[in-house]
Amino acid sequence: MKKYSFILLIFVSIQCLGQISGRILDKKTGLPISYVNIWIEKSWQGTTSDQNGVFHIDKGQVGDTLLISHLGYQQLQIKTKNKNEILLNPSEIELEEVVVFPIKNNKHINIKSFKSYKKIKEFNFFEHQAAARFFEYSEDYAETPFIKKISLAVITPLNRKQIFRVYLMKTDKEGKPSNQLFSEYKTIEIYGDGEINVDFTNEKLIFPEEGFFVVFDILNLKENIATNKFGHEVLCPAIGMDYKKQKKNTWLNYHGKWINPIERKKKSNEDRNVAINIELSN
C-alpha cells in the first residue's frame, strides 16, 4: 500500500510540474489575441499564444509568475492558476492627423543591406525574442516618401510550415522602440530558405522624419521548433545578418523589455544588424 502511495505522489508531482495553459483575450472586446509572447519570470521557459489565443507552457507549475507582452497592449504580470483566462488592456494610442497623398509609383529608391540571401554568410537564431532594426530618415527620401516593400532573408532546417511576424513600429521621444504600431501586423508563412518580401503599398505609409523600426518577431510555436546538432531546441527561421559597416541599431526584446545595441553587445558580444532591405516609392 505504501509503495502505491509513493508512486501516486510522484505522479501527482509530475502533473503539477507538467504544463501551464490558458487563453489570452482582449479585455474590451472579449476576443482572443493571437501570437502573444509569454514567459515564466526569471526563466528561459516561454511560449506564444496560437491563432485562438490559447497557450501551453511545458515544465511550468501553478503559482509561477507569467510576463505577458504584446504590442498595442499594456504589459501584464500574473500568477498562474489551474485555469488561466488572461485579459489584456489595450494601450492608449495617440491618433495622428491623416494626410492623403496620391501614389504615383513611378520612382523608387532602395535602401540596401544585402544583395541576395545566398550571399549572406551568417544567419542568427534569435530564440524567443523580437529583433527591431532602426531606419533613420534622410532628405534623399523626400521625392520617394512611401514605404513600398521590405525584404529580409531567412534559412531553416525544417521542411514544414513556419510562422513569424513582421511589422513597423514607431519610435518614442528618445528614439527608442515605442509601444505603438506604425503598420499592420504581417503574418508570414514560409516553407524553406529564401528572400521574404513584405508589401506595404496598400497602407500608404510615409517615411516619418523621426525614423521607424522594422520588427522581426520570433514566435515560440510548436511548428517553429527544431533541434540542432547539439540537441538543443531552437526557434526557426534564422534571419540573415548584415556585414556592412553601418551604425549598430538593432535592438532585442526579451521578457517584454527592449535591449539597446550597447547592452546587447555587452551581454552577447553581438552587435551586427539584421539584414533588411527597404524599397521606397513616390
- Give the predicted TM-score (pTM) of the model: 0.86
Sign of the C-alpha dihedral, residues 188, 149, 243, 260? negative
What are the extents of the domains in the chain?
A: 2-88, 108-281
pLDDT surpasses 70 at 127: yes
C-alpha cell at 119: 550571399
Segment 161-181, tens digit of pLDDT: 999 999 999 998 888 898 888
Segment 16-64, tens digit of pLDDT: 455 788 999 999 999 999 999 999 887 778 899 999 999 988 877 888 8
The CATH code of domain 108-281 reads 2.60.40
- Contact status, residue 103 vs residue 204, Cβ threshold 8 Å: yes
CA distances from 282 to 100, 108, 109, 135, 175 (A): 13, 7, 9, 18, 26
Q: Phi/psi at 10 (nearest 5 deg)?
A: -60, -45
CA distances from 195 to 118, 154, 211, 238, 240 (A): 9, 6, 24, 12, 10
- Contact status, residue 38 vs residue 44, Cβ threshold 8 Å: no
Lowest mean pLDDT among 6-10, 21-25, 231-235: 6-10
For residue 17, give the nearest of 78, 87, 77, 80 by alpha carbon.
Answer: 80
**pLDDT of res. 142:** 92
Quick one: pLDDT band at residue 12, thresholds 50, 70, 90? very low
Say how far residue 124 (Cα) sits from the centre of its chain. Answer: 14
CATH architecture group of domain 2-88: Sandwich (2.60)
Fold: same for 2-88 and 108-281 = yes
